[in-house]
Structure 1
């Protein structure tokens, strides 16, 4: 335990302040804490800003665009650009390599902005992840008020699970297994995919989302889809108490073809609950997944999987505070036991600057019977 404590103290001493601020903060002359508490977690205003296509509909600064005299051209004065850098020291006592410098664990270049009053774009290129170039991840166009209706559309590459929670805004290094797990040889999950998303909000707090996606993730293909099938996704979410309580349900149905023409039919169904209490945010999500033939055998056998995500974020000093605690439980239980997961994570994040935080994290992996310790920095500039 003394070695671990010394390890955490050492990295805390290495953290230095960064002076720059990300692209959207520069554009609107806002502090990062208007949208984040802390980086990269989104506050309610940040979620609304994201839903509006990364723009302020009634407060776009005139200086941000160039007056070309052409009513059909909205040209930004500068290209919005930002970088995110994640670097860690890792300690895994049960691994072959117990200590590791994971720096950078991730390096991202981000850009987003307006093409017109109702059309915007967002993209980020993952320059480095786990020591390799990963490529494009989120890359899409957003259209608001399509055909003059209260209907928004997103087209491109994104996470299917984003309506529940944008994974990139989590405070833990440990990812959400519920969104990422696959079964057998299946390529389907609730993470990145390519497709079309339609959404609308009602006046009584009901959000409706419908998606159609390729259903094979974003792995490299000769063509973008690997078979003739598409997947459909639907989600309903009702908010109560001024948005402090949100109850949702997700449904997914799709098929995929494997080698030899075998077909796997996949369904997801499950609820989620978000509670925003004073100084505490709680997210609970559950899905049941059914695969008809995830091993793509001649005579397939149905497999079922259940996954749970439970996360609590504690802000003892409120959203303007500098220290935040996260407790997260990821559980996947499948009839194909090789796909099981069971991990409990504790994370503490401390803001050094608004756009730079120190974080320390411990994960107990009950499935692999191992411990994972991490400490390091996350910054955006």
Structure 2
């Protein structure tokens, strides 16, 4: 019982600090309008940026994939679990985002977390140094730690500080890693400058485009396409459970790099492959993302972003200067942030509170996550609720 009591004390401390996380249960498909915990709400919580998670074509493709390939893969990719659906999707992904490389190849992973662990560990080791942006996602941080490489953390988006660290390093292998769109601030990394530094110092540059794939660039081909960047130093990680509306992730790089991942990426080798139906549904998603419908959804999302930036600036709190679908509103303390979240919830709006350790102490915030499935009326509901919350807390 002493063990349980120590854990209970830890939970009580989280409660006292306003830091305990709580699960909510969705009773309907992911969309802008959902039923959560038995209540109808407008959701500003998901990363379903193009509103594809419940798209009829993707739902149909998922069912078709299950009919054709069954409900599970049955094994790891190297031991019987690599289906024709996986192989086809990898070819399609390499074609879709691989213009940064002369010979692109993609490798499909079950989750973005696993893809980032692979990218951090397969290319480095004890003789390497990883140069990591201070605001990188937890999966990149954990991957760097697992790699056994030396880790140098540079201030967020500070390429001058990064250049100084690279100049001072005598590591055999150097790897720079960054998110493209930072998930708690919505800003975009200085990718062109990072590519230039990687080439100057003979370093790999791993970019995690979890929140850019499907949204940024021509036909939603991602942040590298948006910046028109090419380099053999680039290793691209994309997530398929956000804008793509399904699940999984992938790494795209030169075919030689991907072949090395097949040999050395433990989070690829030693896990059961995702169900082939998932890959089959992602193939359908790519057709939507890269077509006229995808363009229309991105155009609507862009207008939603513009309007949301304006309405957040009109509040008494501090919006982060984001031009992406991630629109944070910094409230400050944990308690005040939870109070505003609860006030919005009372108006039927799910806008999650983000607190330490995800963000620094004193910068707790609401994270307004926009989707092409939202309407302008949904934004009007959000604006009215924020006005009421502001008046109540003044």
> Normalised by the shorter chain, which TM-score bucket?
under 0.3
- Higher RCO (Cα < 8 Å, 6 or more apart): 2
Comparing both structures, which one devotes a greater share of its residues to strand?
1
| TM-score, normalised via structure 1 length | 0.25
Comparing both structures, which one devotes a greater share of its residues to helix?
2
